Amino acid sequence: MTETACAFGVKDAEELARTLLHPLTERWQHTAAVAVRAEQLAGTVDAADREILVAAAWLHDIGYATATHDSGFHPLDGARYLRKRGVSERLCSLVAHHSGARFVAEARGLTSELAEFPLEVSALSDALTYADQTVGPHGRPYSVEQRMAEVLDRHGPESPQAKAYSTRAPYLLSVAERVRRRFAQYSQR
């Protein structure tokens, strides 16, 4: 892959993610596995978007790193951190909105803050979300259903994740269906 498709290339993204997340062993293992998953799904997006998909996969959870903490909502904090570093708006927005973050933002009262970043609805955003939703803690492969259950279990019944479940779960399942269909079409070529 070349590094000309986005302002912040895959190697830059991997390096930044490693620096920020390596101390968080479980999150780092998850991130590295999501990046591998994104590479596997690259055929489901336009050729021009394949590099930004993998870069976004490396960066999607950097908002968990202490150095990026701001609002306490990791998609927003990661995107704000990247924006301050001059990373492309598209990449920032993919991080901000990955995995249906808008549904959790609403439950946390952070809708207007997240709206600092435009929402992209595309095969690219779907592939990023599907990659994240099929990798669990420590980088273990999960089904989307297992991952949704794991998130609920980890955050608890009173969490914003639980409050957002009724709107976020159907969205994640619809993403999974679209990505699986694109992957099947791509594999038949």
User: What is the C-alpha to C-alpha distance for residues 74 and 60, in angstroms, rounded to an integer?
Assistant: 9
**Smaller CB distance to Fe ion: residue 43 or 137?**
137
CB of 30 to Fe ion, least distance (A): 6
**Smaller CB distance to Fe ion: residue 49 or 132?**
132
Instruction: Give the length of the chain.
Output: 189
**92-103: b or e for each residue (b if 16 or more CB lie within 10 Å)?**
bbbbbbbbbbbb
CB of 134 to Fe ion, least distance (A): 10
Considering only residues 71 to 110 of the shown chain, the ones binding Fe ion according to CB under 5 A are none
CB of 188 to Fe ion, least distance (A): 29
If you compute the radius of gyration of the chain from its CA atoms, what whole number of angstroms results?
15
**Smaller CB distance to Fe ion: residue 33 or 110?**
33
CB of 132 to Fe ion, least distance (A): 4
**Smaller CB distance to Fe ion: residue 14 or 132?**
132
Considering only residues 116 to 135 of the shown chain, the ones binding Fe ion according to CB under 5 A are 132
Considering only residues 26 to 55 of the shown chain, the ones binding Fe ion according to CB under 5 A are none
Three-state SS for 122? coil
| 61 touches Fe ion by CB under 5 A | yes
Residue type, 71: S
**Smaller CB distance to Fe ion: residue 4 or 110?**
110
Q: Which stretch binds Fe ion (CB under 5 A): 59-67, 100-108, 140-148, 167-175?
A: 59-67
CA torsion sign, 14 to 17 to 21 to 23?
A: positive
**What are 102's two structure tokens?**
């808008």
User: What is the C-alpha to C-alpha distance for residues 13 and 34, in angstroms, rounded to an integer?
Assistant: 13
Are the beta carbons of 126 and 47 closer than 8 angstroms?
no
Query: Which residue ranges make up the site for Fe ion (CB under 5 A)?
Result: 61, 132
